Amino acid sequence: MGTLRTDTKPFQREEPQHSRLRNRDENYDYEAGRFKGFLRCDRQQCGEIVVVAGSFTTEFHHDFDHEAEQPITHEVTTYRPHLMSPAPEIIQYPKKLNKDSKEHLLRSFVLFWVDYASCANRLRIVVEYLLDQFGIERENAKGDFLNLASRIEKLTKTKPDQADYLNALRWLGNAGSHDGNVDFNDLLWCLDMLEHAMIELFEERDAKRRTEAKRIIAVKGKPDVRR
């Protein structure tokens, strides 16, 4: 997996007139405006180019260089992307993930830079389709609709640990839908939980680790001749 890095050209930055006038009138020592530019994947086999745009602030910190006996100014610029296209894949997902889950997951990566609440809601939809893939019905025997909480409860019987993670995603998605606001760190945690839950549901890595741990304990760390 590669890393997105700034392209050879620096970001283009523009400060709107109203911002310049306000800063001048109120003696603010910073700039604020919009930026756009390109990022490039540093993995040689990839080289993907990503368009990025958003807002920026630059703070100016003044100091005095006693050795040179002259004032110096340090600039600290912070960029806040509001759009990235194509959006980076924030978490990894299994190759076996069904088409509908993958489609909404990829859309959540786009919304992550635009609106946290909308991103959380999209992750909730991923959970719905993920449960479809594992045979959790959307209706009961009478044909009545099962809400997401009821469907996750069915998963609890076989995958209690993963059910807890999916419930967290459900609640965050509810908050995004009804309140229109979610905490950034909670969103990051839920992305991490979703990644972990998908890996365990498809690959059962924890179960395999426990099996191997018991095997190594049984042979007291010595080479297992039965393998």
| pLDDT tens profile 19-50 | 666 655 555 677 889 999 999 998 888 888 99
Where residue 177 falls among pLDDT bands split at 50, 70, 90? very high
C-alpha–C-alpha distance, residues 213 and 207, integer Å: 10
What burial class does residue 38 get, using C-beta atoms within 10 Å of its C-beta: 0-12 exposed, 13-18 middle, 19+ buried? middle
Domains and CATH numbers, the chain: 1-86 (no CATH), 90-227 (1.20.120)
The angle that helices 160-178 and 184-203 make with each other, rounded to 10 degrees, is 140
Contact call for residues 72 and 61 (beta carbons, < 8 A): no
Please measure the distance between the N-terminal and C-terminal CA atoms of the chain and give it in whole angstroms. Answer: 33
Tens of pLDDT, residue by residue over 51-105, are: 999 999 998 887 888 888 888 888 889 999 999 999 999 999 999 999 999 999 9
pLDDT at 25: 52
Beta strand pairing status for 12-14 and 4-6?
unpaired
Any idea what the Cα angle at residue 164 is, between residues 162 and 167, rounded to 5°? 110
Interacting residues of 40 by C-beta distance below 8 A, sequence separation 6+:
4, 5, 6, 7, 47, 48, 49, 50
Interacting residues of 173 by C-beta distance below 8 A, sequence separation 6+:
120, 121, 122, 123, 124, 125, 127
pLDDT at 157: 85
pLDDT at 74: 83
Contact call for residues 85 and 106 (beta carbons, < 8 A): no
Interacting residues of 85 by C-beta distance below 8 A, sequence separation 6+:
50, 51, 110
pLDDT at 80: 94
